Amino acid sequence: MNAAFQALSDPTRREILRLLRQREMTAGELAEQFHLSPSTLSGHFNVLKHAGLIVAEKNGTSIIYSLNMSVAEQTVAAVLELFDVGKNHKGKKR
């Protein structure tokens, strides 16, 4: 879970996840969305892959990235639990 939180701490990585939420994309398609060097973008992909938030699949000479929804959902659930979102707090003042 720490790797997922670290991955989410960067705005570029959050934007990559937002783009992949819409559809899977090749590395080239993602690169067109950012003004970053290929090595910098590759570093972001590696952090996201290490966290399990994205999956990379080689297709010929292209790499296709997709959002790993199960890990993304687990991460969101952990954040909600961290802040007690959705729990009944009757009688407690905040």
Domain ranges of the chain: 2-82
When pLDDT is averaged across residues 34-51 and rounded to a whole number, the result is 96
Asked if 53 and 68 touch (Cβ cutoff 8 Å), the reply is yes
List the end-to-end C-alpha distance of the chain, in Å, as a whole number.
Answer: 27
Please give the pLDDT value at position 57. Answer: 97
Buried b / exposed e over 67-92, threshold 16 CB at 10 Å, is bbeebbeebeeeeeeeeeeeeeeeee
Q: Is the pLDDT of residue 92 over 60?
A: no
Q: Is the pLDDT of residue 90 over 70?
A: no
Please give the pLDDT value at position 83. Answer: 87
Cα–Cα distance list, 53 to 45, 76, 94 (Å): 10, 11, 33
With respect to CATH, is domain 2-82 assigned 1.10.10.10?
yes
When pLDDT is averaged across residues 13-23 and rounded to a whole number, the result is 96
Q: Is the pLDDT of residue 91 over 60?
A: no
Please give the pLDDT value at position 45. Answer: 97
Q: pLDDT tens across 43-61, in order?
A: 999 999 999 999 999 999 9
When pLDDT is averaged across residues 9-16 and rounded to a whole number, the result is 97
